[in-house]
Amino acid sequence: QKEVEQDPGPLSVPEGAIVSLNCTYSNSAFQYFMWYRQYSRKGPELLMYTYSSGNKEDGRFTAQVDKSSKYISLFIRDSQPSDSATYLCAMSSAGGTSYGKLTFGQGTILTVHP
Amino acid sequence: DSGVTQTPKHLITATGQRVTLRCSPRSGDLSVYWYQQSLDQGLQFLIQYYNGEERAKGNILERFSAQQFPDLHSELNLSSLELGDSALYFCASSKGLAAYEQYFGPGTRLTVT
């Protein structure tokens, strides 16, 4: 079983829809939770990161972390065709020998059609 | 543009050969990370260097090695290449030791024939 599970999709939504992307994880040592966006043949782009549990909002994007359920989410409001990309969740611990290591989900392919 | 640069963009080589991938971190960043991305394995952490020292290691093969130089640029050396090493190789950088807030370069696409 992988440490981080993410539904690969693909997910197709109409423009303006609210998109919900999710990941589950098994390693209770994870304290930092990140969301990256990756366009085809490009490097991953950091959207936002959250420490421990709670919500964080940045423009149309909201990240939620529920450590009790080992479940994280990214919501995209008023989705646009330019949001079409692969979304990757990533996690890391807050210390120890794995401090510098990011563990990624497989990525969810999102298409927003006009 | 993340500020992380990688060269070359594309590399085509034969099995058994050795290649070197190069990465320059963002200005002011002391940590450099290397990742491998393939269709079946996804994005996999290989190794982290901080200010010239190795700090964290992932599932990096013994045929692969990396180093970070005094000017903070890094190189990833891949030797005795196999077909299965064909992948996208990304470099990322961050200010400190922690893994969060990493910024990725555009990647090097390696094709082994």
Q: Give residue-wise pLDDT tens across range B20-69.
A: 999 999 999 999 999 999 988 889 999 999 999 999 999 899 999 999 99
Contact B100 A49 (CB under 8 A): yes
- In this predicted structure, what is the pLDDT of residue B100? 81
Closest-CA residue of chain B to A2: B41
Q: Give residue-wise pLDDT tens across range A6-55.
A: 988 899 999 999 999 999 999 999 999 999 999 998 999 999 999 888 89
- In this predicted structure, what is the pLDDT of residue B83? 97
Q: Which of A56, A58, A93, A101 to mutate to test the interface with B (most CBs of B within 10 A)?
A: A101
Residue A100 has pLDDT above 80, yes or no: no
Looking at beta carbons, which residues of chain A come within 8 Å of B50? 100
Closest-CA residue of chain B to A96: B56
Closest chain A C-alpha to B12 CA, distance in angstroms: 16
Q: Give residue-wise pLDDT tens across range B61-99.
A: 999 999 999 999 999 999 999 999 999 999 999 998 887
Q: Which of A87, A37, A22, A68 is nearest to B104 (CA)?
A: A37
Closest-CA residue of chain B to A39: B106
Report chain B's mean pLDDT, rounded to a whole number.
Answer: 95
Looking at beta carbons, which residues of chain B come within 8 Å of A88? 43
* 3-class SS string, chain B: CCCCEEECCEEEECCCCCEEEEEECCCCCCEEEEEEEECCCEEEEEEEEECCEEEEECCCCCCEEEEECCCCCEEEEECCCCHHHCEEEEEEEECCCCCCCCEECCCEEEEEC
Report chain A's mean pLDDT, rounded to a whole number.
Answer: 93
Residues 6+ apart with CB under 8 A from A53: A65, A66, A67, A68
CA A97 vs. chain centroid, Å, equals: 24
- In this predicted structure, what is the pLDDT of residue B62? 96
Contact A42 B106 (CB under 8 A): yes
Residue A98 has pLDDT above 70, yes or no: no
